[in-house]
Structure 1
Amino acid sequence: MQKLVDGIHRFQRELFSQDQQLFETLVEGQSPLALFVTCSDSRIDPSRLTQTRPGELFIQRTAGNIVPPYGSVHGGEAATIEYAVSVLKVRDIVICGHSHCGAMAGLLDPESIEKLPAVKAYLEHAEATRRIVEENYNHLTDPEKRLTLTVEENVLVQLESLRTHPSVAAAIGRGQLKLHGWVYKFETGEVFAYDPDEAQFKPLQDITLPVDAQVRTLPPI
């Protein structure tokens, strides 16, 4: 806890003064560039990863970067999405998974979360991910590759779930919103983006134009 308190003191003493004018303008409101949906995992820092400043990124964090289908949960996820799209008018939504995701590992090994009823219940919103991996990639036995594939497939499943939200569907229909699927490999700093034309995740630097990530399963390995 002391590290957190010391960090606050350093922020107020050093960093705030450097950008005081920026922080003062934030009183007038926010106009973020995108809604960034990612995992609660402490190893991913959306603002640092994207090099964005306060006010530029609207962030939603959930276990396994899960987006429950509209109406299945009356909670903060749907409210956050609706506000970002309908009020803040974000033009892009990114769902970003990450390497070595504990939620996806739990999805693949239900016994490991048997004593975590809340986690187990929440991961039911990724049941389609589990079924896709189990039924379509049963030949993939390497644990690390299987987890990586699960992370990727889950991003696509959650993009499909995101489309069930009325505000999202309407904005896409008007041509005012694009969806993007990313996977961040935190041990190398690489980010992979889903390319619907090739139905695979490619290094972000190889994708030059924004891509509306259409939901498809990955090609067989």
Structure 2
Amino acid sequence: MDRILRGIMRYRQLDRKTMVEQFKQVKNNPTPKAVFFTCMDSRMIPTRFTEMNVGDMFIVRNAGNVIPHSHHFLDEITSNEPAALELGCVINDIRHIIVCGHSDCKAINLLYQLQDTNFSSQVNRRKSPIRAWLCAHAWSSLEKFQQLELTDYSMPLIFQAETPQRKFVAYIDPENKLALEDKLSQINALQQLQNIASYGFLKSRLEKHQLHIHALWFDIYTGEIYYFSRQAKQFVIINEDNIETLMDEVENYYM
């Protein structure tokens, strides 16, 4: 707490005045660009690595950047993540949803371990909220990983896109450079796009191309950020060499 309180004092001295001015500018006309789902990991600072400013994004964080599939809510939707989707994309008319996974994700590392039946037993789930959360809402990512494992990590996976009729193909780490848990992390980020598309209140916007879903992946050890390119069918690094190509893809595919 000492460091946090001293940090608040530095904020008061250096940044508060500028930030208040920014709050005033967006108070009556906020124009957020995206709903950004990411992990609660302390190493993930999305506003910093996207250079976003006050009012630019809605940010939703949880263990493993997971968005529960709509089939978990047969009566009333009672989870923060779909509520955030409605608030951002329906009430505030935000047009882009981004899911950002990352390397060495502690939640995903734990998900990988849940393949052990004793580790994921009901007894242990009752004692561990994080195990229960992952078993309930990230198991589909693990099943996709196991499909990949059966092909010696070489064959593509198929995910549902914006509608049940639209699919996209994904090669996960085709150069085989990543740890198994990081392969699972990339799969998990893509699986969330499928989960997002399952919500009926987004159906019309997705079908009319008024709402677009994207996946990013952040390598915390190199600082590099990857975008899932549906044209390239894999996560590709965002850098000076391909930024124009990626921007063209987004403009032509999603707009």
TM range (shorter): 0.7 to 0.9
Kept in 1, the 8 Å contact 2:19–2:54? The answer is: no
Equivalent residue number for residue 218 of structure 2: 184
Equivalent residue number for residue 18 of structure 1: 18
Tell me which of 78, 82, 87 is aligned to 2:86.
82
Give the TM-score taking structure 2 as reference length: 0.76
| One-letter amino acid of the structure 2 residue matched with residue 190 of structure 1 | E
| One-letter amino acid of the structure 1 residue matched with residue 100 of structure 2 | C
Kept in 2, the 8 Å contact 1:85–1:167? The answer is: no
Question: 2-side partners of 1:62 and 1:20: how far apart?
Answer: 27
Question: 2-side partners of 1:61 and 1:5: how far apart?
Answer: 23
Question: 1-side partners of 2:6 and 2:140: how far apart?
Answer: 44
Structure 1 vs Structure 2 CA RMSD: 2.3
- Number of positions where the alignment pairs a residue of Structure 1 with one of Structure 2: 212
Equivalent residue number for residue 134 of structure 2: 123
Shift of 1:204: 2.3
Structure 2 counterparts to residues 31-70 of structure 1, below 5 A = 31-70=31-70
Shift of 1:30: 3.0
Question: 1-side partners of 2:213 and 2:147: how far apart?
Answer: 27
| One-letter amino acid of the structure 1 residue matched with residue 197 of structure 2 | R
Question: 2-side partners of 1:135 and 1:18: how far apart?
Answer: 50
Shift of 1:3: 1.0
Q: Is 1:98 the counterpart of 2:117 in the alignment?
A: no
Kept in 1, the 8 Å contact 2:104–2:182? The answer is: yes
Describe the SS at the equivalent of 1:4.
helix
Describe the SS at the equivalent of 2:68.
coil
Structure 2 counterparts to residues 160-179 of structure 1, below 5 A = 160-179=194-213
| Larger displacement relative to structure 2 (190-199 or 36-45) | 190-199
Equivalent residue number for residue 144 of structure 2: 132
Q: Deviations over 1:127-175 (max 9, x none)?
A: 11111222321435x9952112101111111110010122332211222
Question: 2-side partners of 1:188 and 1:143: how far apart?
Answer: 13
Shift of 1:4: 0.9
| One-letter amino acid of the structure 1 residue matched with residue 62 of structure 2 | T
Give the TM-score taking structure 1 as reference length: 0.87
| One-letter amino acid of the structure 2 residue matched with residue 122 of structure 1 | W
Structure 2 counterparts to residues 151-166 of structure 1, below 5 A = 151-166=185-200
Q: Deviations over 1:65-104 (max 9, x none)?
A: 0000125251211111111001111111110000101111
Q: Is 1:107 the counterpart of 2:118 in the alignment?
A: no
Q: Which runs of 5+ in 1 are unaligned?
A: 214-221
Describe the SS at the equivalent of 2:60.
strand
Q: Percent identity?
A: 25
Instruction: Summarize the Cα distance change of 1:65–1:86 in structure 2 as closer, same or farther, 3 Å threshold.
Output: same
| One-letter amino acid of the structure 2 residue matched with residue 176 of structure 1 | Q
Q: Which runs of 5+ in 2 are unaligned?
A: 154-175
Kept in 1, the 8 Å contact 2:193–2:215? The answer is: yes
